[in-house]
Amino acid sequence: MENLTGEQQKRIALLDAYEAKTAPERQIRNGGIDQHEQEFREKWLQLQSSMEATRGDLQTRLKGLNASEQSISASVAIELAKLTEGYYAEKDKAARVLDGTLAKPQSWLDFLRESKLEQPDDPTFDGLIEEAEKAPDSGLEGFTKQTAPNMVLTDLHAREGKDGVMEYTRGLTVAVRDVGDRLDVRKTDDRDVEAALKIAAKKFDVDKGLLLTGDTAFKVRAAEISGKLGYPLQNTEPEVLRAWMRGKQVSQGLERARIPSIDAGITGDPAKNLTLAPVGKSILRADQRTIDVLMKKPVAGVDLVGADRISMPDERMLAANASIKDLGYQAIHQIARADLEKPDGGVEPDSVNLLQEKGILDTDGKLTQLGTDVVMVRDDRVIREREALEPSQKAKIAQYFKTSGDYVREAYLEARETAAPEVVEEKKEQALEKENAFQVGEKIPKARQHDFEEGIEL
């Protein structure tokens, strides 16, 4: 601080005072936002189970009607897109309601203006106020004031056209045609372009990017909407990429436009699993703790098939998905933290009755087969969702993507930090003894090798 000028020291002191004054409101607000994000993270996982059920129901029903594979694929794509659209609309609505109830810290600009009244002759305030007036409001950390998500799929339906090509219609009007490897956009207003993009995100592998075709006007408009929706593109044209970035950054409603083009289309790499997987077993991603538990205590029907993968009978995977869909937030909250190494999952005592009602625990308070399966299936979804995050997203919301193993490890570390000092010291000495024994070449009994590895990690 001694090398700073008087004005620099004044600026730092003002910032410290502002942070201290607004800290309580910030903590309340951000805590509410964290709870909101966690609740909708669990709802997103439940939605995945609902999608699995929808996919299975449509597959069975449409095959019973001798529908073509193209018809099944088109029907599944739009139904999954509708479920996703509804989720984001529900989350946005809840966020707006919550935003109206949360504490709102005083803005930096208002703080400066208020402080200047106490010291009107201090020139430091003038420079800071001028800077704050030009900068975005840094007083709030939370929801941005964006327009509500568009609902463009509710009145759109899939049907087979006279020429055998699948069509998405509003009433008698054809908005989009599904020609297999491409969606042809027949009406190019924003509503139908957005609808086509949302269907394409389910029909094609959106992680590999969508490819926009047609005239430049269509591609630019569709690119901007794609950016707003967060869908990556395969296109490389500079004007298309600039439009995509515009959409990515926009916080207000999009300008509507009508651009006729019968060649306009959206294509991409076909997504997998739009129909049911073959009868047998499903491959699930697994947390390392789950792998360790299965090595010690195998679960009937669940096999290790890789360093971070397990297999589970299809019917059990689907049953677990259905259970997740029907479980309430409180039950999911407990299941998310279940410790598979403990017979009762280590759930909180006041949640036992609830989990018994849901079939997660038996009458003795032990995890049922369904309960164990639910934990593993939920972990699979969390791991896949976490891996799909963009690098910029991981720093902000990765904390909401936690497996059961993550929660168990966090609980262990927290318990260890609060343990009596003599207990901590004893564990350190034990770990040091093992390390010294290993360094001098003492052969560690096979039964203790795993314990040794855990001791070093901890």
Domain that holds residue 41: 6-105
Residue 39 lies in a domain: yes
**Do 261 and 161 share a structural domain?**
yes
pLDDT in tens, 317-326: 878 887 887 7
DSSP 247-292: HHH--SPPPP-----TT-EEE-PBPS-SSPPPSSEEEEE--HHHHH
pLDDT in tens, 246-298: 887 754 322 222 222 333 455 555 554 444 333 467 788 899 999 988 988 88
Q: What is the pLDDT of residue 323?
A: 82
Q: What is the count of structural domains for the chain? A: 4
Please check whether residues 345 and 251 belong to one and the same domain.
no
- Residue 340: the pLDDT is 92
pLDDT 10s digits, 153-206: 888 888 888 777 888 888 888 888 888 788 888 866 888 899 999 988 888 888
Q: What is the structure's pLDDT at 290?
A: 92
Examine the pLDDT at 376 and tell me if it is beyond 90.
yes
* Residue 400: inside a domain: no
Q: How many residues does the chain have?
A: 458
From 244, 267, 290, the end of a domain falls on 267
pLDDT of 68 reads 83
Does residue 275 lie within any of the structural domains?
no
Instruction: Band the pLDDT of 453: cuts 50, 70, 90.
Output: very low
Report which of 114, 141, 140 is spatially closest to residue 128, judged by C-alpha positions.
114
273 located within any domain: no
301 plus 367 within the same structural domain = yes
Based on the fold, state whether residues 243 and 288 are members of the same structural domain.
Answer: no
Nearest-angstrom CA–CA distance, 2 and 394: 38
Q: What is the pLDDT of residues 353-366, one digit of tens each?
A: 889 888 899 888 89
- Please indicate, yes or no, if residue 361 is contained in any of the structural domains: yes
Which tokens go with 424? 């901590």
Instruction: Please give the pLDDT value at position 426.
Output: 61
CB atoms under 10 Å from CB of 438, counted, come to: 13
Is residue 397 very low, low, confident or very high in pLDDT (cuts 50, 70, 90)? Answer: low
Rama region for 303: left / alpha / beta (φ>0; ψ in -120 to 50; rest) = beta
In 3D, which of 337, 350, 344 has the Cα closest to residue 365? 344
Closest CA to 408 of 283, 327, 293: 293
- Are 92 and 164 members of one domain? no
Residues 251 and 304 in one domain: no
Is residue 258 located within the same domain as residue 287?
A: no
Contact 335, 312 (CB under 8 A): no
Q: Let me know whether 172 and 98 are in one domain.
A: no
**pLDDT tens, residue by residue, 130-146:** 777 765 444 444 444 56
Indicate whether 276 belongs to any domain: no
Residue reference for tokens 């659209």: 85
Residue 209 and residue 170 share a domain: yes
Q: What is the pLDDT of residues 197-255, one digit of tens each?
A: 998 888 888 878 888 888 888 888 898 888 888 888 888 787 888 888 888 775 432 22
Do 266 and 200 touch, CB atoms closer than 8 A?
yes
Task: Give per-residue pLDDT as tens, 25-69.
Answer: 877 877 787 788 788 888 888 888 888 888 888 888 888 888 888
d(C-alpha 284, C-alpha 302), whole Å: 10
- Residue 321 identity (one-letter amino acid): N
Q: Which of 220, 245, 267 is the last residue of a domain?
A: 267
pLDDT at 452 over 50: no
In a domain, 396, yes or no: no
Whether 302 and 376 map to the same domain: the answer is yes
Check whether residue 173 and residue 222 sit in a common domain. Answer: yes
Q: Report helix, strand or coil for 306.
A: strand
Both 378 and 424 in one domain: the answer is no
Position 306: which residue type?
G
Residue 132 in any domain: the answer is no
Q: Which string of b and e fits 340-353 if b means at least 16 CB within 10 Å?
A: beeebbbbeeebbe
- pLDDT at 257 (0 to 100): 22
